Chain A
């Protein structure tokens, strides 16, 4: 399948901006500012090359030195993750790799990562979201793993806004289309509405993969004379400037002129790419591998060469093109989807091409590894690029951007939700529970999740609306006697409102919630990843938020003793001067020694005792109650209690192991009231709840204090469970019993709501808005 030569290159040879031409015409004006480079950055490029860059080189530097690829504004802060990361023997690959890899058993490892595709998903929701899934899946594939699931953390503008009706259905159909056709179960995620995301929705896609420890791949273009093979789709004009134009600049109002910068995906080809890569890994045909995502070939060529400390020669004319009229810089910048770059020893090239042919995937040798230490690219027989690959991949500018604490912080902190008018009668409490259950953020999300395949692969043990996605790892069922099949649990969480109120605390609250969601399934949290969505780094207030959030997250992970395995930064999420709520989305990975012991979330068995774990305080600032009932955002977010989260996790893990617990649900958005509603609706089994005599029913129902969960204890296990809580110093309060004869949610002495009425409120909202 090699040698697909374009029939006709229409570009005139005379006009080609080669290295020779560049050396002879040092004063030729170049459009570096239009490409997003500053004067000093352009000067630095000239300094590195000892001449002006060619047009192709200029394009390459502009995209590799963009915010999206170079992390130039975030680098100085992100090193806190490495500095504070707890030591662990589990981490096989960490920050800086395509995705972090964590060892689970002696033989198996898991890799997972979250990445943003925010701007493309606003410009063209369907393709933007679809290729977001495709991109993160290739990161996972590049580590040597079989991708086994996806999740998505989504944030949209106001649910009632007309543009949300354009963006949400498109994003959902894009995720559905790509993930379903790829055969990856979608096992969880989040959907949040807030006006701050109106002109800048957030589409964060997570993928997780499984690999035998021995199959771990790297991105090094090592081995003099090894062949550089491009695998997958032909290269077209789609996605040119995706990272520099779309991802590294602020949106202006109603800006949809960038549609050509959005890539177009074909999940069928990605599926074939996955199968062919896995077959090549297993046959040990690949020396190094890198996915082509943002910045396309430019990124893959420079990063693989730089990682190995080698040089590389590439004959760009060999790249199979969709359009013959493409110019060198376009071929280098194209973000056409479903492509991988392989480094292959010469004697294995034949086998690589045969595997590709078996799966019907295009594979083309385009170059080779050299010992020159330079990346040299020829086009039409002339050299158009000659530069040190490390100068593109590693030596981009690094900025310590100015930071400034917002002036209104004290004012916002003083504007506490705890002082807002509260429902005072039982009738008002009841109405508030119902109204919140039907509010867009808390309402049932089936309209979205039923568009996703959550079961393909046959290993999904829990998926949304359960608190975490849980997968069985060992698909073969080959398990040592006396042990169960190992499982993993994953959750993503973020809370833009909390982070807006206090970025340090907000980031830790996101981490704590993801950690808790994993823990309530009975899993032991072992690692975290993040996707940091913020406004423009050129705004000192945004930069301050970012630094605070990173600090909080790094410190939180250190305290919870789980390492950050990698992550993604998405800046410029703002419309004009208005930034989104700072939104760090945190993914936590947990492990279950026996996946059959995983704990689901719904009430199920009559007679189970319902117990509340943790302490409830009058913490209402930033809460869903304050927002949905008063449109209020102010005050100080709930206190973080990481020691409490760890104790809760320890109780849950032990209780799940010995089957002291039949169901569990974390308390977060909407507090106890919403947790009860969701637990009733999950299996349509009711409960009778009796709040403690001393309790203020409003505070108990709606506060969003952390380190809390609702658990169901089978009859006969209450004493043992109580002893377990006391052993770990976790406060526990019996609240009532699961009782299908209650016909719904009964809060004794206050109110009751039938299952049908709850269901109508919760399940009617999204179909009414988007159906």
Chain B
């Protein structure tokens, strides 16, 4: 059965249609979810897309975390629903305390966009099984507030538990602590990352097609979960 993957649109979401396209290209069915609606419409996984939800007023993700859809999403994520937060979506996951740490203004104070080298550090999350550990991939990054920060203890914990999913290589675009580009929760079903895998899914438009791996990984993960559940 085709996996149903939800993409939440907040007011100010910008890469929502791009996430839907990536899901379609990976072979799953994108389902539009609306910020003001608590219904998750029976989706098997959720993408929180990039953009400037609620204008990023106050701080990126700070208002979105109070959206009605997030109430049901936070519960579902704690129950094991795979959730990928991209850029603004990562900020929302941190603000929702599904992931630790915070994303602050880039150290150089500019918005920066480039094709970015990443190393896949963790292949056991719900979104990275199709990569090899240590594999280097190219995914675009584009943000003004993408500098991952956390206290030393949290950083040690993330590294100790293998929860750093992606690390920047060939330069750190934001001054992120320990070159962290993406992390997961302890269970591995919630992943947040600043780079945009949905913009690396077609040779025509992306610097690579490496981003597809995240979407095919979660589709495979959902298939296995279904088998594991004996269905």
Q: Please give the residue numbers on chain A whose beta carbons come within 8 Å of chain B beta carbons, in ascending order.
A: 173, 176-177, 180-183, 266-269, 271-272, 359-360, 449-461, 472, 475, 477, 595-596
Contacts and interface: CB of A to CB of B under 8 A. Distances in A.
B196 to A, nearest CB: 8
B199 interface: yes
Interface in B114-155: 114, 140, 142, 144
B17 A458 contact: yes
Contacts, number: 84
Given A180-B142, A183-B15, 12 more contacts: A181-B52, A183-B14, A266-B55, A267-B52, A449-B113, A454-B113, A455-B140, A455-B142, A456-B15, A456-B142, A458-B202, A459-B205
Contacts of B50: 456
A294 B120 CA distance: 51
Contacts of A181: 12, 14, 52, 55-56
Given A180-B111, A452-B113, A268 B18 contact: no
Contacts of A359: 11
A453 B140 CA distance: 10
Nearest to B9: A275
A458 B199 contact: yes
Contacts of A453: 111, 113, 142
B112 A268 contact: no
Nearest to B25: A477
A301 to B, nearest CB: 28
B229 interface: no
B204 A595 contact: yes
A595 B14 CA distance: 23
Contacts of B15: 183, 456, 458
Contact of B114 (A450, A460, A472, A477): A450
Contacts of B205: 455, 458-461, 472
Given A183-B51, A455-B205, A472-B205, A176 B111 contact: yes
B14 A456 contact: yes
A180 B204 CA distance: 21
Contacts of A458: 15, 17-18, 21, 198-199, 202, 205
Interface string B202-228: 101110000000000000000000000
Contact of A451 (B54, B110, B198): B110
Ranked nearest first, the 7 interchain pairs of A and B with the lowest CB-CB distance are A268-B55, A183-B14, A458-B18, A181-B52, A455-B199, A451-B111, A453-B142
Nearest to A180: B111
Contacts of A183: 14-15, 51
Nearest to A461: B204
Interface string B81-115: 00000000000000000000000000000111110
B67 to A, nearest CB: 12
Contacts of B51: 183
A272 B55 CA distance: 10
B17 A475 contact: yes
A266 B57 CA distance: 11
A269 to B, nearest CB: 8
Nearest to A361: B11
13 contacts: A180-B111, A181-B55, A182-B14, A267-B52, A267-B55, A271-B12, A271-B52, A272-B11, A272-B12, A451-B112, A453-B142, A455-B196, A458-B15
B139 to A, nearest CB: 11
Given A458-B17, A458-B205, A460-B205, A268 B54 contact: yes
A475 B50 CA distance: 18
Nearest to A181: B52
Interface in B39-89: 50-52, 54-57
Residue in A180, A271, A455 with the greatest tally of chain B CB atoms within 10 Å? A455
Given A268-B12, A451-B110, A456-B14, A475 B21 contact: yes
Interface in B184-205: 196, 198-199, 202, 204-205
Nearest to A484: B204
B199 A268 contact: no
B25 to A, nearest CB: 9
A367 B160 CA distance: 65
Contacts of A269: 55
B199 to A, nearest CB: 5
B113 A450 contact: yes
A180 B15 CA distance: 11
B205 to A, nearest CB: 6
Contacts of B55: 181, 266-269
Contacts of A451: 110-113
Nearest to B15: A456
Contacts of B144: 180
Contacts of B54: 268
A329 B110 CA distance: 40
A446 to B, nearest CB: 8
Contacts of A475: 17, 21
Contacts of B14: 181-183, 271, 456
A472 B206 CA distance: 13
A461 B206 CA distance: 8
B74 to A, nearest CB: 23
A181 B54 CA distance: 10
B18 A457 contact: yes
Contacts of B114: 450
Given A359-B11, A458-B198, A596 B111 contact: no
A450 B174 CA distance: 13
Contacts of A454: 113
A360 B36 CA distance: 11
Nearest to B34: A358
B15 to A, nearest CB: 6
A223 to B, nearest CB: 31
Contact of A456 (B12, B18, B202, B204): B18
A562 B107 CA distance: 47
A173 B15 CA distance: 21
Contacts of A449: 113
Nearest to B206: A455
Nearest to A451: B111
A596 B196 CA distance: 22
Nearest to B13: A183
A271 B144 CA distance: 18
Residue in B142, B198, B205 with the greatest tally of chain A CB atoms within 10 Å? B205
Contacts of B11: 268, 271-272, 359-360
Contacts of A177: 111
